[in-house]
Structure 1
Amino acid sequence: MSTRTITEENRALIRTEFDRAWNRDELDALDELYADAVRIATTRSGSDEALVAREDIKELHGEWDGAFPDATTEINAMVAEGDAVMVWWTLRGTHLGAFRGIEPTGSQVEVDGFSYRRIDEGTIVEVKDAASMATLFSQLGVELPA
């Protein structure tokens, strides 16, 4: 009989997501971790196009993986309560591929972000991510309007 609480199981599930999908680029892991009808509330910076399905998230991860192939994401803090988990993370990597029209700069980047996950019966059913894109673009040498 397991003595792990639902909260501990939810934390472990999110750590698995970050380890496999974010750090090891195992995007097919999202097929196991995300519900078939997962609700995606993440938007791509600079686009009005909503991300709505697992395949959209895989595409977004692939975009980042192509531009920052050595990127790793460190979990700085995680708060879990009931079916919700909130993560503050830092992504670090090198800009080695084109990203949103910006040719590779070789710049080292360090970007903070937050992720919200809602979990039902051991599966992620809701996803929302936000990254400090202004910080990222500044590190890539893009001048932003005042």
Structure 2
Amino acid sequence: MTNQTQLTALQARRERIVLDHFADETRQDFDAVLGTFPHPHYELIPSGEVHDGNDDVRQYYAETRRAFPDQRHEIIQLRHADDSVIVEFWLLGTHRGPLKGIPPTGNAFRCRMNAFFIFEGDTLVCERVYFDTLTMLRQLLVGVPPEMVGALVQGLLGQPSATPKAEAAVA
């Protein structure tokens, strides 16, 4: 899985935590995922979202799995840095539930991402995720009437819509 042939004991422990974390997320065993760090902390860089603590992270899981009940990962590459494990992966899913104002489209997505699993020693303290929002949106919004796209994207970005008529059509 890694690009190195010989791992240190610390790197091997960190890698096991990260691989378990990914597997538990795919199985939707969120108790096990939360158990991979003493204080769960997610940072989603494209949206600026921070989910901190058990309750907040559980809510994040509930919302994203409601929107994408089949969400899963395909790991491309795993690398080690001094204080982290960096994972490049595909995130896949089908939009079956609401997502921040976007009604379910039934469209599937496949988005390449990077996650930095930040450690203090062998303790996971943060998962920081980077991805291209446009790649995902382009796939999710296929087939949505063009006049609704602006209002949906504004809702996703947490901005008030400039066209109340479009908002009413979504609700």
Instruction: State the TM-score, normalized to the length of structure 1.
Output: 0.80
Matched, 1:33 2:36: yes
Take 1:61 and 1:39, find their aligned partners in 2: how far apart are those partners?
12
In structure 1, list runs of 5 or more residues that go unmatched: none
Take 2:131 and 2:103, find their aligned partners in 1: how far apart are those partners?
20
Are residues 121 and 12 of structure 1, via their aligned partners in 2, closer, same or farther at CA, if it must alter by over 3 Å? same
Q: CA RMSD in A?
A: 2.5
- Alpha carbons 1:72, 1:93 under 8 Å: kept: yes
In structure 2, list runs of 5 or more residues that go unmatched: 1-6, 142-148, 155-171
| Greater Rg over alpha carbons, structure | 2
**Aligned partner of residue 63 in structure 1, secondary structure:** helix
Question: RCO greater where, 1 or 2, for CA within 8 Å and sep 6 or more?
Answer: 1
- Alpha carbons 1:34, 1:125 under 8 Å: kept: yes
Matched, 1:19 2:23: yes
Are residues 113 and 54 of structure 1, via their aligned partners in 2, closer, same or farther at CA, if it must alter by over 3 Å? farther
Structure 1 position 43, deviation (Å): 5.2
Identity %: 24
- Alpha carbons 1:107, 1:140 under 8 Å: kept: yes
Take 1:133 and 1:68, find their aligned partners in 2: how far apart are those partners?
15
Count of residues in correspondence between the two structures: 139
- Structure 2 residue identity aligned to 1:79: R
